[in-house]
């Protein structure tokens, strides 16, 4: 596949995303190919660890390739998107549960679907250019690909803040929020990857890692915890509106750009997943309740139109921030019955 290079080098299974001109956006076919490789390597004694990286300096993976989802959804074919998300989420769970070390090198933009194929790995590497985010509320979706679990596990109320605003994390913030493990300058990555391939062990990662850079989120966390401690999106908005400071004003501007339905559902999802009982499968099953319904009941198609198709940046959301749609958000997260996410069968890509 021209979008992906899959091979074995030394003791390592190598996966490289090779569509840098598209910011290595993740297609349906790429998801299935990555899963096939992981399946093949699980019981292969010649493969001691897996390394995933990407060509280009702008992005590891800037998200899922949503053009096809949009065109199919507009034509009334919601099954394509439902199958895509079902298969993508199965891959996310497989990465989180993989029995061998899974090492991800995340330069530049790592967003949405890119988070799903990297930040659930056992060893996650960032460099100075790394910019990690979950921006789905800006396109009428919710943080998915297991990102809701990462947000729920972030310190304090950073999860609600990052999920609702889509704020980007540099390397220090990514480490602080739990989206990365090691800071290693990108100039050192090629030699490090060679060493990993040769030895088949993750020890070179620890030897190469440097102290974490500054994390602006750490300084902002007291304010974030105060503003985002409410039970619902309305509580959060009320707290922000009652404050006259710059941080509250900037945050309100960020929230005003995003789908009220998506943000209300995001807050509810994170609250449900906060606690020791939550795991990757629980998070993905909850996310799938929203995405299964997304094409005909949420702001998703309108969000893609405004951001990607027409690029007018003027989405016509279903709801207003003056009356956040809590009931509608809860309805988007109701159980799906027979359509519940499972992790055992592949869908139909046609």
pLDDT in tens, 233-247: 999 999 999 999 999
| CA dihedral sign, ordered 76, 91, 148, 107 | negative
pLDDT tens readout for residues 54-69: 999 999 999 988 888 8
Please indicate whether residue 312 is annotated as part of the active site.
no
The CATH superfamily holding the domain 4-339 is 2-enoyl-CoA Hydratase; Chain A, domain 1 (3.90.226.10)
Please indicate whether residue 136 is annotated as part of the active site.
yes
Q: What is the pTM of this model?
A: 0.96
Q: Where are the chain's structural domains?
A: 4-339
Please indicate whether residue 302 is annotated as part of the active site.
no
Kindly give the confidence (pLDDT) of every residue in the chain, 350 residues in length, as a single tens digit, with 9 standing for 90 and above: 689 999 999 999 999 999 999 999 999 999 999 999 999 999 999 999 999 999 999 999 999 888 888 999 999 999 999 999 999 999 999 999 999 999 999 999 999 999 999 999 999 999 999 999 999 999 999 999 999 999 999 999 999 999 999 999 999 999 999 999 999 999 999 999 999 999 999 999 999 999 999 999 999 999 999 999 999 999 999 999 999 999 999 999 999 999 999 999 999 999 999 988 899 999 999 999 999 999 999 999 999 999 999 999 999 999 999 999 999 999 999 999 999 999 986 655 55
| Contacts of range 95-101, beta carbons closer than 8 Å, 24 or more positions apart | 95/38, 95/120, 95/121, 96/120, 96/146, 96/280, 97/280, 98/38, 98/42, 98/50, 98/122, 99/42, 100/41, 100/42, 100/47, 100/48, 100/49, 100/50, 101/48, 101/49, 101/50, 101/202
Among residues 64, 81, 121, 170, the one annotated as catalytic is 64
Among residues 87, 88, 144, 160, the one annotated as catalytic is 144
Among residues 73, 113, 166, 172, the one annotated as catalytic is 113
Among residues 65, 87, 136, 287, the one annotated as catalytic is 136
Averaged confidence pLDDT in the chain: 96
Please indicate whether residue 275 is annotated as part of the active site.
no
């Amino acid at each position: 596949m021209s979008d992906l290079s899959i091979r074995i080098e030394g003791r390592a299974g190598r996966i490289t995303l090779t569509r840098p001109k598209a910011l290595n956006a993740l297609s349906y076919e790429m998801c299935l190919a990555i899963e096939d490789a992981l399946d093949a390597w699980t019981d292969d004694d010649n493969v001691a660890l897996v390394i995933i990286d990407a060509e280009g300096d702008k992005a590891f993976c800037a998200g899922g390739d949503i053009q096809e989802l949009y065109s199919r959804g507009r034509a009334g074919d919601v099954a394509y998107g439902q199958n895509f998300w079902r298969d993508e989420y199965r891959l996310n769970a497989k990465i989180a549960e993989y029995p061998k070390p899974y090492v991800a090198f995340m330069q530049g933009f790592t967003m949405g679907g890119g988070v799903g194929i990297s930040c659930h790995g056992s060893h996650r590497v960032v460099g100075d250019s790394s910019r990690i985010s979950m921006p789905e509320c800006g396109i009428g979706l919710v943080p998915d690909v297991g990102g809701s679990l990462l947000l729920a596990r972030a310190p304090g109320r950073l999860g609600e803040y990052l999920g609702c605003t889509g704020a980007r994390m540099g390397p220090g913030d990514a480490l602080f929020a739990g989206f990365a493990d090691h800071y290693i300058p990108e100039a050192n990555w090629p030699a490090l990857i060679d060493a990993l391939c040769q030895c088949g062990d993750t020890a070179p990662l620890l030897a190469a890692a440097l102290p974490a850079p500054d994390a602006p989120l750490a300084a902002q966390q007291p304010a974030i915890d105060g503003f985002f401690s409410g039970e619902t999106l309305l509580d959060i908005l009320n707290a922000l509106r009652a404050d006259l400071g710059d941080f509250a004003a900037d945050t309100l501007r960020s929230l005003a750009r995003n789908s009220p339905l998506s943000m209300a559902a995001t807050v509810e999802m994170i609250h449900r997943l906060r606690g020791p009982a939550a795991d990757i499968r629980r998070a993905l099953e909850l996310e799938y309740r929203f995405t299964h319904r997304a094409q005909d009941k949420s702001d998703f198609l309108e969000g893609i139109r405004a951001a990607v198709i027409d690029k007018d940046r003027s989405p016509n959301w279903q709801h207003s921030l003056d009356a956040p749609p809590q009931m509608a958000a809860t309805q988007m997260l109701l159980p799906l019955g027979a359509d519940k996410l499972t992790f055992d069968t592949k869908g139909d890509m046609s």
